[in-house]
Amino acid sequence: MRRAIFPGSFDPLTLGHTDIINRGVTLFDELIIAIGINSEKNYMFSLEKRKHFIEETFKDEPKIKVMTYEGLTVNFSKEVKADFILRGLRNPADFEFEKAIAHTNRKLAKIETVFLLTAARTSYISSSIVRDVIKNGGDFSVLVPNSVKVE
């Protein structure tokens, strides 16, 4: 079984994330959306809400599981017996950053990282941009799946 994890904070889940997930799920037998927990980070959305956004968006996809983890992504990948880490690339800066992490992870755990380029229509979207739009009262609905709501 080819199992991959797609790690991130997903604060919030964006159309860029869903693009990578929808294309990535076709490559693997199981895709675990792994929500990382960093106690030093201040999130806009609670862990429960972030998990709900993902579960609601992919409720009809049986190959997707949603889990949370703390610590190194590579350690979590060992725990769940994942063979691959899936990452999305929006631009050259993403590639350079992700390449260094991928090399480190392969050294630590012999795990392969699979990179997918984001679709042109979503390549400009990031969670930090979405949070900024939300904070400033803009219409963020065009940047996120329908499951993402601000209450």
CATH code, domain carrying 71 = 3.40.50.620
Give me the pLDDT at residue 110, please: 87
Query: pLDDT by residue for the chain (151 residues), tens digit each?
Result: 999 999 999 999 999 999 999 999 999 999 999 999 987 889 999 999 999 999 999 999 999 999 999 999 999 999 999 999 999 999 888 899 999 999 999 999 989 999 999 999 999 999 999 999 999 999 999 999 999 998 7
Q: Is 72 within a domain?
A: yes
Q: Is 148 within a domain?
A: no
Question: Residue 12, preceding bond cis, omega within 30 degrees?
Answer: yes
Q: Is 147 within a domain?
A: no
Tell me the whole-structure pTM to 2 decimals. Answer: 0.94
Give me the pLDDT at residue 28, please: 98
Active site residues per annotation = 17, 41, 90, 127
CA atoms of 145 and 142, how far apart (whole Å): 8
> Which domain, by its residues, includes 87?
3-142
Q: Is 151 within a domain?
A: no
Give me the pLDDT at residue 91, please: 87
How many folded domains does the chain comprise?
A: 1
